[in-house]
Amino acid sequence: MKQPFLKAIRDRVLVLDGAMGTMLQERGLKPGQSPEELNLTMPEVVAGVHREYAAAGADIIVTNTFGGSREKLSHYGLEGKIREINAAGVAIARKIAGESAYVAASVGPTGRFVEPVGDLSFDEMADIFREQVHPLIEAGADLITLETFLDIKEARAAVVAVREISKDIPVIAMLTFDDNGRSVLGTPPEAAAITMEGVGADIIGSNCGLGVDGIYAILSAMRKVTRLPLISQANAGLPILKDGKTVFPGTPEDMIAYHERLLGLGVRIIGGCCGTTPAHIKAMREALSGKDQSFRGNGPPPGVTFLSSRSSWIAVGGNNQVALIGERINPTGKKAFSAELKEGKVSYIRREAMEQTAAGAHLLDINVGAPGIDEAAAMERAVFCVSGAVNTPLVLDSSSPEALEKGLKSADGKVLVNSVSGEAKSLARVLPLIKKYGAAVIGLTLDEGGIPETGEGRALVAEKILLAVSNAGIPAHDLILDCLTLTVSAEQERARETLTAIRLVKERLGLNTVLGVSNISFGLPRRPLISSAFFAMAIEAGLDSAIINPKEEAMMGTWRSAMELMNR
């Protein structure tokens, strides 16, 4: 009896099989023919490939369903046989795997892109994957392996689709990277890992595109931001042209040259992609003999919140710099911006995104909650605009669940949602969105009783929010607490209580914190002076991130000085 898959990869390193397409070509696959069609027309040939890999020692047999989506099958007029082809692929693999090996259902990219890069909406892309994944799971696959993805947003849609069908089936998520260390659309390994872990993948890594040395470099970068198990599925070297044919020169010996280093990173699955054969898989299996297969790989320090865009990422908390969240994309008190929102324009948004990023913002808050507009549609436009103008990760700021969901679907990476409170209604509306779309969330330390007067009271609300977040299946490090900045002109004693709350949240809960700093000086003269002094006090109290105007030099001067003095 096999162990549950996720337990097995904790106990030992598993070997995944090798290339399928080249093996099928050698066995009768015709040029221009769908490889997946052979599941119906030549099942014994597909089974023969699986059998050779099983005999070579593969612990994981990957189904012949890589191009089993309607987008891919429609090129061959087979879109009406999606269920048949995918179910047959699992059945063939299961027959060979028996009780000793695991069946991984292969899902590849569609060949199209999600808006605004392409013409498919996030929902349309997710629906394509749901249609393919349903029969794979129903047919009894042990896990889903998402392979060779180039677009981080398409990969997000794929994981969301799988998780809508099954919360429990293990999911491997792999992107393909060029030799410059980025995907074809510019995503670095760290951003890919952050995004895929956030949205619910169980194992992450890379396949295709690179040989084992290149894959090792990619996985080393991923390990800096994740503690998840990793997978290495390298090509047999980089392809070369020989006698008019593309060949992969990597020998079985070449493929095992990085085994010890991969194990040291915490790689728990080692397999082969293009150009690999049963001989390569056999060498991988044999090279594990006698090795220490305990789970290694240090990963990032605990308690750090990671956020990402398509092409960048940031760490909040720990000994990192205090993260600056640009506050300017907000219609409050800005009549011209509110008018633009009503007209569907984005020129102010684009300008502020670029200027705040240039001024030093690490994250950009997006608030489009002006009266009389379709906030969900405005949020989508704003996210598309900012993501196209700058690389900065995003903070989605709205009290509307519909606007938040539209923004979460529109974003490329792992965003921060601003915000949820300790009120039961707020928690019930927002936390399911955080879980589904792989975001982090700001928790406001207020509840049905309002804002507690004391730091102790706010820390108790923080504990309540943390419990709700944990019960929703969201990691504690994806909760950032806002201990709330109140106007000092009205209640001077409250400023001290905010600082006390920060200290208590850090000491008792070990969570990261954020403040909207400039609220402290509302209604007072010389606001930048007061705000920057309070900012320095909050940093000393343990503040990890701040919502500020990065174009305000007094605030930026305080931040730079504090980071220098704290050796950050």
User: What's the 3-state SS for 179-199?
Assistant: CCCCCCCCCCHHHHHHHHHHH
Please give the pLDDT value at position 242: 82
Gap between the Cα atoms of 187 and 185, Å rounded: 6
User: Is the CB of residue 153 less than 8 Å from the CB of residue 119?
Assistant: no
Q: For residues 457 and 508, give the distance between their C-alpha atoms in angstroms, rounded to a whole number.
A: 13
Q: Are 47 and 89 in contact (CB under 8 A)?
A: no
**What distances in angstroms separate CA 561 from CA 96, 362, 380, 533, 553, one per listed residue?**
64, 17, 37, 12, 12
pLDDT reported for residue 493: 87
Whole-Å CA distances, 199 to 307, 412, 435, 475: 12, 12, 7, 12
User: Do the beta carbons of residue 329 and residue 290 sit within 8 Å?
Assistant: no
**Could you say which residues of the chain have pLDDT below 50?**
none
What integer pLDDT is reported at residue 375 of this predicted model?
A: 98
Q: What is the model's pLDDT at position 164?
A: 98
Q: What pLDDT, on the 0 to 100 scale, is given for residue 501?
A: 98
Of 69, 99, 83, the C-alpha closest to 136 is: 83
pLDDT at residue number 551: 97
- Helices H / strands E in the chain, number of each: 22, 20
- DSSP-H helix ranges across 139-225: 152-165, 189-199, 212-223
Please give the pLDDT value at position 244: 78
